[in-house]
A and B are shown apart, each in its own frame.
Chain A
Amino acid sequence: MSIFINRGTKLVVQGITGRDGSFHAKQMLEYGTKVVAGVTPGKGGQKFEGKVPIFDTVADAVAATGANTSVIYVPSRFAVDAVYEAVDAGISLIVCITEGVPVLDMTRVMPYVKERGARLVGPNCPGVISPGESKVGIIPGQICKPGKVGVVSRSGTLTYEIIHQLTQNGLGQSTCVGIGGDPIIGTNFIDCLAAFEADPNTEAIVMIGEIGGTDEQNAARYVAERVKKPVVGFIAGQTAPPGRRMGHAGAIISGSSGTAAEKMAALKEAGIAVMARPADVVPLLRERLGAPRKRAGGGVKRSSRRVAKKAR
Chain B
Amino acid sequence: MNLHEYQARALLKAAGIPVPDGEVAETPEDAERIAGRIGGRVVVKAQVHAGGRGKAGGVKLANDPADARVKAGQIIGMTIKGLRVNKVLVAPAADIASESYLGVIVDRSTQRPVVMVSPAGGVDIEEVAAKTPEKIFRIAVDPRYGLLPHQAMALAFKLYRGVEQARQAATIMRQLYDVFWSAGASLVEINPLITTKDGNVVALDAKLVVDDNELERRPAIAALRDSSAEAPAEVKARDAGLSYVKLDGQVGCCVNGAGLAMGTMDLVKYYGGEPANFLDIGGSSNPQKVVTALQIITADPNVKAILFNIFGGITRCDDVANGIVTATKQLKLNRPIVIRLTGTNEDLAMKILKDAGFSALTDMDEAVKRAVELAKEAA
Contact = CB atoms under 8 A, between A and B. Distances in A.
B326 interface: no
Interface in A257-291: 260, 276-279
Contact of B262 (A143, A215, A236, A279): A236
Contact of A247 (B184, B280, B312): B280
Interface residues of A, number: 61
A102 B263 contact: no
B268 A160 contact: no
Interface stretch (B55-63, B71-79, B105-113): B105-113
A218 interface: yes
A103 B259 contact: no
Interface string B211-251: 11110110000000000000000000000000101010000
A208 B259 contact: yes
Interface residues of B, number: 56
A278 B343 contact: no
A27 B213 CA distance: 28
Given A143-B343, A248-B259, A278-B263, A238 B212 contact: no
B365 A239 contact: no
Interface in A130-172: 138-140, 143, 153-161, 164
A184 interface: yes
B137 interface: no
Contacts of B212: 249
A255 interface: yes
A98 to B, nearest CB: 11
A8 interface: no
A1 interface: no
Contact of B111 (A76, A110, A138, A276): A110
A161 B343 CA distance: 10
A239 B265 contact: yes
Contact of A236 (B113, B127, B266, B311): B266
Contact of B266 (A159, A218, A238, A244): A238
Contact of A184 (B111, B260, B278, B365): B111
Nearest to B187: A254
A140 B313 contact: yes
A239 B247 contact: yes
Given A156-B313, A236-B266, A255-B126, A102 B257 contact: no
A28 B108 CA distance: 32
B283 A184 contact: no
Given A156-B313, A251-B262, A255-B126, A77 B216 contact: yes
A107 B213 contact: no
B54 interface: no
A277 B270 contact: yes
B149 interface: no
Interface of A: 76-77, 100-104, 106-108, 110-111, 126, 138-140, 143, 153-161, 164, 181, 183-184, 208, 210-211, 213-215, 218, 234, 236-241, 243-251, 254-256, 260, 276-279
Given A157-B259, A239-B269, A277-B365, 15 more contacts: A101-B213, A103-B213, A104-B113, A106-B111, A107-B143, A108-B144, A111-B142, A154-B259, A155-B258, A158-B262, A158-B263, A184-B111, A236-B260, A247-B280, A256-B126
9 contacts: A104-B214, A106-B111, A154-B259, A155-B259, A156-B257, A161-B311, A181-B259, A238-B266, A249-B213
Interface of B: 51, 106, 108-109, 111-113, 126-127, 129-130, 142-144, 181, 184, 186, 211-214, 216-217, 243, 245, 247, 255-263, 265-270, 274-275, 278, 280, 283, 311-315, 342-344, 364-365
Top 9 nearest A-B pairs (CB, nearest first) are: A155-B259, A247-B258, A157-B257, A255-B126, A158-B259, A236-B262, A157-B260, A237-B262, A158-B260
